[in-house]
Amino acid sequence: MRGLALPRSPKVILGLGILGFFIVLTVVGPWLAPYNPSSTAFTALLTPSSHHWLGTTSLGQDIFSQLLVGARATMVVALVAGLVATLLSMTIGISAGYLGGVPDDGLTLLSNVFLAIPGVPLLIVIDSYLPVNSRSNEFVIGLIISLTGWAWGARVLRAQTMSLRNRDFVEAARIIGESRRRIMFSEIAPNLLPVLASSLLFTVLYSIGAYVTLAYIGLTSTATWNWGTMLYWAQANNAPLSNEWYWFVPPGICIALVGTGLALVNFGIDEFINPRLRAAGLTARQRRQLGLARRPRLGVTPVLRTASSRQPTGVVAK
Amino acid sequence: MRIVARRLGLYLLTAWVAVTANFILPRLMPGNPVQTLIGKITSQVTPAEIRAIRLSFGMGFKQGIIAQYFTYLGQLFHGNLGVSITLGSPVSSILRESVPWTIGLIGISTIISFALGTLAGALLGWTRGSRFDSMIPTATFFQAVPYFFLGTVMLLVFGSNLHWFPVLGAYSQSATPGWNWTFIASVLRYGELPVISIVLSSVAGWMLGMRNMMITMIGEDFVLMAVAKGLPRRKVIAHAARNAVLPSIANLSLAIGLVVSGALLVELVFNYPGVGDLLLQAVLNEDYPLIQGIFLVITLTVLAANLIADVVYLVLDPRTRSEAAV
Amino acid sequence: MSATIPREHEPTEVVDVATSAVATGVARHEPVLEIEGFSVDYGAGASMVRAVDEVTLRLDRSRVLGIAGESGSGKSTLVYAMTRLLRAPGLISGGRVLLHTTDDDGVVTPVNLVEASESELRKVRWSHVSIVLQSALSALNPVLRIGREFDEVLKTHRKDMTKAQRRARAVELLRLVGLTEDRLDRYPHELSGGQRQRVMIAVALALDPELVIMDEPTTALDVVTQREIISELATLRARFGFAMIFITHDLSLLVELADEIAVMYAGSIVERAGARELYEAPRHPYTLGLLHSFPPLHGERRELTGIPGSPPDLADPPAGCRFAPRCTFAMARCLTERPTLREFGDEGRSVACWLFDPASASRVPVELSLAPSARQTVGEP
């Protein structure tokens, strides 16, 4: 079993920093909000000021409060959808990869069908039939999103499971007579941790996109504050064309930042899974130490000019 | 060609699943959708309209559910997608007008974005470790921005403020639709900003994927051999890139779905007369026959695009070809 | 046709034995490759590892040098770094590599590969030095037909050849390695392992290079194919007179093909001798152990004992002789003082081992003091 020690590249640190910030915001956002986001007590369409950092909407609501409160619903849906989808991918992908034969054919076909159906249009259809009280429930929305988002992860996990199926430790577990379920979820799954993590980040990313899209076209309850509904109201009131950037730009930037954070951490996991992606060889600092002017290129192995004075015990490091 | 046949089978199955979902979903929802719909129509409802609505759900007659299902399939087979509640005309004829706009816009954007992203990704992968690497977080940011948000910002900055591009619609009001130059030129001009928006939102995904594959390929022996053979650098890069692009094409099925989903909303932002804009109207008006029709058309188009991607992959990778021959 | 490619590609079915014999005969003592004090490191700073440590070698025209050693001994690192093909984090930290290139007019120019620029390297590569890798499957681009491998090499380096001439040359080369023309239109995965490796050899000979480097070209093949390819290589070498560096961990392969053998251990050459002398009368304890690790391709069966222990960690090598911790004959001196490659009595061969130093006042163990003829007994033809 190998743990998940992420490479400490600046990309990963930046990503974790961004994610950390938004996770904190999810928890404390609603308490930090200076006003009730639905309160229409203020003058409409104020520009940003010290009282209203991001101005007010055409109904006189405080935009900054909406942004802070909206973080929670957005992140909760994304997380619920991501977790459920990853659980589905894991169950279906590992079963297909480990069991093989007819179950594999059936499950692979199922995931291929779900992969081929465009997810967001399907979501829109399903969601448009939902009663209004379900639409305002983040958990229902998250579950439906997860239904359209598990297939990719299942495919990747199936391939990875097949490569593990005949490894010694799985063989050993079989000989001891452990049950199939135990082998799949106690022996194989822990070894797929990096792939699972990557799959989780990917589905969370997809879920944010899907949820915000649904909210933006008005298919979630417009009374629940999330970044998508903010964009919906901004669009509905023609904020973009009226140059009220402070209304629609902040939620968009927040969505993109969360996505960037997820993708950057995923970069680190990719580097963990595929060693070739890791900064191969010489870091920029090592290159400077060695006095190499440029990055080594394939087919031109660099030559140290100060070769004769070097000792093989790392004297250069000093 | 067995592989193509197998994929075709998968897509037919997928299409059937989508069609069946359209049949089942209204029945799973609480209440009678036909009554709900009729209740929503504010104007006078003629018996003919009620019949049309029932038909579009396959609930036309007093039939068992199985028979209803076959009636529904038969209607679909004859291209009858029902009648739009709000627009009053057959869904199929509404779609016939809007689908070409969507296919044109998304198709062209996707081709441009794939070509640009793949090229840039190949170079980023080759020059890994250079200062170009600092582009990665920026690219990741663009990858994460919702399409419709980027479209909105583009519209605001370059359309309504700088007036570099015409905004809203697919062609100038002064042009007469048809095969004349004024109209085509106008379509191209109006298409620029939506295309740029979609390309900007989707190019980073292709680019980052290609970069990672390129780095993996550069680690392969055959690329080292290309260097050992004294080939010029661009040929060495071509050796790696030719192989690195294969997974991008293999993953196209996932990507096309995502790009289409995103791009549909861009149409909405730009008031582009495609199915995206139509879908929003239908959703807002709870025009179920239209929603279902649009979903079916989008699914079928995406499946067709997948099939094209599969054939391209088959042409580019001889290994899958000979497996098919076995 | 030693160093030039025939402009007219009439089928050369009959080998001009006289010419090639003269060519090789004349060139016998001219060097094609001289390596001096060549060192290669991986990484930098505290994590630095010296993978090749001040290696000096000389290879004459048309000769075959075998380099043997366990994996991690630095044998592959040596040849990749020498041709500047070694990937990051490898870097050359000293020495020089002179490749004596002969142009179409027979003029010999030494090129120091360590100093060469990228464009100079590009001119030398494949025209003067070519490489065959262990796995032909990964060395051939999976999505290109075999014909392209020949075509792009000829197109790049023989700009005056027409498409038809390139094709004819490719067919001619394929015939040399016993393959038919129809293979040109196949993809790598459609060929057998042996066929793929033959293709690689044919491509390596496409430009009549002075030096061909073989990095364990037969390791991935079955024993029968291995034998066939080794004997084909011997024939091709006799016919075209290229020099060869053949890397393997299997010493018994080398004795069939090589003129001389260098044994590498932990980044240095520990013994160097004529192939037969080394095989029959090893001097270095490591060579002895290596000989006991593989069954000979033919001839007497030996008991396979292998070498106890594992190669040293190059990031923190032992103070004295690097083989001392695994050596059954190690003395006190071996643990503190590092031996260098020297001639100790035997003519034309050298060894880096204190056992042979007269100053050591030790007796050379009987296994390591055989005369070359002593082993030439049973099973030899």
The residue-averaged pLDDT of B272-292 equals: 85
- Chain A: residue whose CA lies nearest to C90: A301
The predicted structure's pLDDT at residue C271: 93
Please indicate, yes or no, whether residues C159 and C288 belong to a single structural domain of this protein.
Answer: no
Chains touching C, CB cut-off 8 Å, 3+ pairs: A, B
* Residue C4: pLDDT band with limits 50, 70, 90: very low
The answer as to whether B322 is a domain residue is no
The residue-averaged pLDDT of B48-66 equals: 66
Chains touching B, CB cut-off 8 Å, 3+ pairs: A, C
**Interchain contact, B228 vs C83, CB within 8 Å:** yes
The predicted structure's pLDDT at residue C145: 94
3-state secondary structure of A4: coil
* B258 vs C123, higher pLDDT: C123
The residue-averaged pLDDT of C112-125 equals: 92
Q: Does B312 touch chain C (CB under 8 A)?
A: no
Q: Which residues contact B147 (CB under 8 A, 6 or more apart)?
A: B197, B198, B201, B202, B262, B263, B265, B266
The answer as to whether B259 is a domain residue is yes
Q: Does B130 touch chain C (CB under 8 A)?
A: no
- Chain C: residue whose CA lies nearest to A281: C89
The answer as to whether C2 is a domain residue is no
The predicted structure's pLDDT at residue B42: 57
**Interchain contact, A121 vs B262, CB within 8 Å:** no
Say yes or no to pLDDT of C12 above 60: no
Please indicate, yes or no, whether residues C163 and C303 belong to a single structural domain of this protein.
Answer: no
The alpha carbon of A186 is separated from its chain's Cα centroid by a whole number of angstroms, namely 25
Most confident of A285-294, C140-149, C346-355: C140-149
The answer as to whether C277 is a domain residue is yes
Say yes or no to pLDDT of B24 above 80: yes
The residue-averaged pLDDT of B143-164 equals: 87
Q: How many structural domains is chain B composed of?
A: 1
The predicted structure's pLDDT at residue C378: 39
Please indicate, yes or no, whether residues C47 and C177 belong to a single structural domain of this protein.
Answer: yes
Name which of A43-52, C20-29, C75-84, C94-103 the model is least confident about: C20-29
Percent of chain B whose pLDDT exceeds 90: 20
Name which of A185-189, B124-128, C275-279, C372-376 the model is least confident about: C372-376
Tokens in use for B107? 């198709």
Chains A, B: CB contacts under 8 A, how many?
A: 182
Instruction: Give the domain extent around B214.
Output: 97-287
Distance CA C13, CA C59 (A): 30
Best B152, B153, B253 member to test A by mutation, with max A CBs in 10 Å, is B152
Please indicate, yes or no, whether residues C251 and C289 belong to a single structural domain of this protein.
Answer: no
The answer as to whether B69 is a domain residue is no
Percent of chain C whose pLDDT exceeds 90: 46
Q: How many structural domains is chain C composed of?
A: 2
CATH number, residue B218: 1.10.3720.10
The predicted structure's pLDDT at residue A17: 92
The answer as to whether B83 is a domain residue is no
Q: Does C266 touch chain A (CB under 8 A)?
A: no
Which residue in A217, A249, A260 is closest to B283 by CB distance? Answer: A217
The answer as to whether C132 is a domain residue is yes
Q: Which residues contact A285 (CB under 8 A, 6 or more apart)?
A: none
The answer as to whether B118 is a domain residue is yes
Instruction: Give the domain extent around C84.
Output: 7-258
Please indicate, yes or no, whether residues C245 and C334 belong to a single structural domain of this protein.
Answer: no
The predicted structure's pLDDT at residue A2: 43
The residue-averaged pLDDT of A204-216 equals: 90
The string of pLDDT tens digits covering residues C184-202 is 999 999 999 899 999 999 9
* Residue B179: pLDDT band with limits 50, 70, 90: confident
Residues in chain C with CB shorter than 8 Å from the CB of B244 are none
Most confident of A69-78, A173-182, C258-267, C316-325: C258-267
**Interchain contact, B223 vs A298, CB within 8 Å:** yes
Say yes or no to pLDDT of B210 above 60: yes
CATH number, residue C51: 3.40.50.300
Please indicate, yes or no, whether residues C229 and C318 belong to a single structural domain of this protein.
Answer: no
| Residue C154 to chain A, least CA–CA distance (Å) | 20
Say yes or no to pLDDT of A313 above 80: no
Say yes or no to pLDDT of B45 above 90: no
Please indicate, yes or no, whether residues C117 and C202 belong to a single structural domain of this protein.
Answer: yes
Please indicate, yes or no, whether residues C206 and C277 belong to a single structural domain of this protein.
Answer: no
Which residue in A128, A209, A260 is closest to B137 by CB distance? Answer: A260
Say yes or no to pLDDT of C11 above 50: no
The answer as to whether B212 is a domain residue is yes
The string of pLDDT tens digits covering residues C151-174 is 999 999 999 999 999 999 999 999
The string of pLDDT tens digits covering residues C203-232 is 999 999 999 999 988 887 888 888 899 999
- Chain A: residue whose CA lies nearest to C118: A300
Q: DSSP character for A234?
A: H
Please indicate, yes or no, whether residues C252 and C354 belong to a single structural domain of this protein.
Answer: no
What 3 state SS string does chain B have? CHHHHHHHHHHHHHHHHHHHHHHHHHHHCCCCHHHHHHHHCCCCCCHHHHHHHHHHCCCCCCCCHHHHHHHHHHHHHCCCCCECCCCCCEHHHHHHHHHHHHHHHHHHHHHHHHHHHHHHHHHHHHCCCCHHHHHHHHHHHHHHCCHHHHHHHHHHHHHHHCCCCCCCCCCCCCCCCCCCHHHHHHHHHHHHHHHHHHHHHHHHHHHHHHHHHHHHHHCCHHHHHHHHCCCCHHHHHHHHHHHHHHHHHHCHHHHHHHHHHHHHHHHHHCCCCCHHHHHHHHHHHCCHHHHHHHHHHHHHHHHHHHHHHHHHHHHHCHHHHHHHHC
Indicate whether this complex's ipTM tops 0.90: no
Nearest to C289 by CA among C314, C265, C268: C265
The string of pLDDT tens digits covering residues A14-59 is 899 999 999 998 888 888 878 788 777 777 777 777 777 777 777 7
The predicted structure's pLDDT at residue B29: 66
Domain boundary, last residue among C258, C277, C295:
C258
The answer as to whether C1 is a domain residue is no
Please indicate, yes or no, whether residues C211 and C294 belong to a single structural domain of this protein.
Answer: no
The string of pLDDT tens digits covering residues C295-305 is 665 555 555 56
Q: Does A307 touch chain C (CB under 8 A)?
A: yes
The answer as to whether B324 is a domain residue is no
Distance CA A228, CA A251 (A): 8
Domain boundary, last residue among C258, C291, C321:
C258
The predicted structure's pLDDT at residue A296: 78
| Residue C232 to chain B, least CA–CA distance (Å) | 22
Query: Do the Cβ atoms of B288 and B121 come closer than 8 Å?
Result: no
| Residue B91 to chain C, least CA–CA distance (Å) | 46
The string of pLDDT tens digits covering residues A237-260 is 877 777 788 888 889 999 999 999
Please indicate, yes or no, whether residues C235 and C282 belong to a single structural domain of this protein.
Answer: no
Q: Does B95 touch chain A (CB under 8 A)?
A: no
The residue-averaged pLDDT of C353-358 equals: 84
Q: Does B222 touch chain C (CB under 8 A)?
A: yes
Domain boundary, last residue among C200, C227, C258:
C258
Say yes or no to pLDDT of C128 above 80: yes
* Residue C379: pLDDT band with limits 50, 70, 90: very low
Q: Does B220 touch chain C (CB under 8 A)?
A: yes
The answer as to whether C363 is a domain residue is yes
| Residue C284 to chain B, least CA–CA distance (Å) | 34
The answer as to whether B295 is a domain residue is no
Residues in chain C with CB shorter than 8 Å from the CB of A293 are none
Give the domains, in start order, of chain A with CATH numbers.
2-310 (1.10.3720.10)
Please indicate, yes or no, whether residues C350 and C223 belong to a single structural domain of this protein.
Answer: no
The predicted structure's pLDDT at residue A119: 84
Name which of A54-58, B34-38, C61-65, C197-201 the model is least confident about: B34-38
Q: Which residues 72-91 of B are in CB contact (within 8 Å) with A?
A: none
